[in-house]
Amino acid sequence: MSVQMEIICVGNELLIGKTLNTNALWMAKRATSLGIVVKRITVVGDYVDEIAAATVEALQRKPRFIITTGGLGPTFDDKTLEGIAKALNRKLEVNEDALKMVREKYEAFAKEGRIEEVELTPPRVKMATLPEKAKPLLNPTGTAPGVMIEVDETFLMALAGVPSEMEAIFEDSIVPLLKKAGGNVMFFETSIFADNMMESTLAPLIDQTMHDSAYVYIKSHPKGEENMPHIELHFSTTAKDSKSAKDRLGKAIIQLSELIEKSGGKVTVQQKSQIRQ
């Protein structure tokens, strides 16, 4: 039974097409590499009701992990924690551990001469105002702490939206949990490329190879123009060790390559075609 994750990205900038969602890519890739199955990514705007609805819906699907990113900062439109509190029907309260983290940040800024006063103004206290029974997660590179809340069997975690902060909190506080949950399963992948063959001609060859290769998933991605087909064939599998993964993927690659060449196609293997974890 796979360990599942959902990602919720909060931010109007993602919905107006201003910002490319590189955070979702990064988290999905990192979690997948640890054997976690990302089932859904949801993007909502900076609205309490939207965030609450997305959180409630994700919780109902009972993934082991729900990770939100964005909306933890000091401005009026940083509403993720308010949304989560609403979803869980919990009050927001100043969390003393979080307040200590925030205070220490501003004290350090003052020492460096970057700010004149360390006063914990309302926008600063806001970053330490968490849903009841939440645990703050240290933000090594920014001010707003991450937040962890256990809800039944789900770890619900809220991370900052600034990529460097999101990645740092993820590595420090989430990766250890993912490793523990994912067991020792790892994700392996590689790609080869087929030319001179249309995707509709490839389709039955892929079917046949997947039928013969247990645990190997093959997906075709057309990369060329319509009148010059160039198709990436992406092979992936999860395994406990690199040898089983390589044996399994290697066998499937050989079979599909032979089928393609028999049907008049051309297979190319690029540097990218190394099997990687």
Closest to 272 measured CA to CA, from 219, 231, 243, 232: 232
Task: State yes or no: residue 141 binds its own copies (CB under 8 A).
Answer: yes
What are the Cα distances from residue 36, in Å, to 64, 157, 275? 10, 15, 19
CB 185 within 8 A of CB 277: no
Q: Interhelix angle for 80-88 vs 48-60, to 10°?
A: 50
| Strand-pair partners of 266 | 195
Q: What is the footprint of its own copies within residues 2-61 (CB under 8 A)? A: 12-22, 24-33, 37-46, 50, 54, 57
Could you tell me how far CA 67 lies from the centroid of its own chain?
8
Out of 96, 132, 150, 207, the residue judged to bind its own copies by CB under 8 A: 207
**Nearer CB in complex with its own copies: 48/90:** 48
Cβ proximity to its own copies, 221 vs 266, nearer residue: 221
User: Is 200 a residue that touches its own copies (CB under 8 A)?
Assistant: yes
Query: According to the binding rule CB under 8 A, does residue 204 interact with its own copies?
Result: yes
Residue 203 contacts its own copies per CB under 8 A: yes
Question: Of the candidates 135, 181, 220, 230, which one interacts with its own copies according to CB under 8 A?
Answer: 220
Binding mask 84-123 for its own copies (x = CB under 8 A): -------------------------x--x-xx-----xxx
Restricted to residues 153-192, the positions that interact with its own copies (CB under 8 A) are 162, 164, 187, 189
Question: Are residues 142 and 162 in contact, defined by beta-carbon separation less than 8 angstroms?
Answer: yes
- The residue among 183 and 224 lying less far from its own copies, judged by its C-beta, is 224
Q: Does 143 bind its own copies (CB under 8 A)?
A: yes
**Secondary structure class of 223 (helix, strand, coil):** coil
Q: Which two tokens stand for residue 46?
A: 């900076």
For residue 244, the minimal CB distance to its own copies (Å) is: 19
Our finding on whether 142 is near its own copies (CB under 8 A) is yes
Give the other-Cβ count within 10 Å of 265's Cβ. Answer: 19
Pick 76 or 214: Cβ nearer its own copies? 76
φ/ψ (deg, to 5) at 198 = -80, 155
Select 90 or 125, whichever has its Cβ closest to its own copies: 125
Q: Is 75 in the site for its own copies (CB under 8 A)?
A: yes
CA 216 vs CA 185, 233, 264: distances in Å: 14, 12, 24
Among 64, 79, 86, 124, binds its own copies (CB under 8 A): 124
Q: Does 261 bind its own copies (CB under 8 A)?
A: no
What CA–CA distance (Å, rounded) separates 138 from 155? Answer: 16
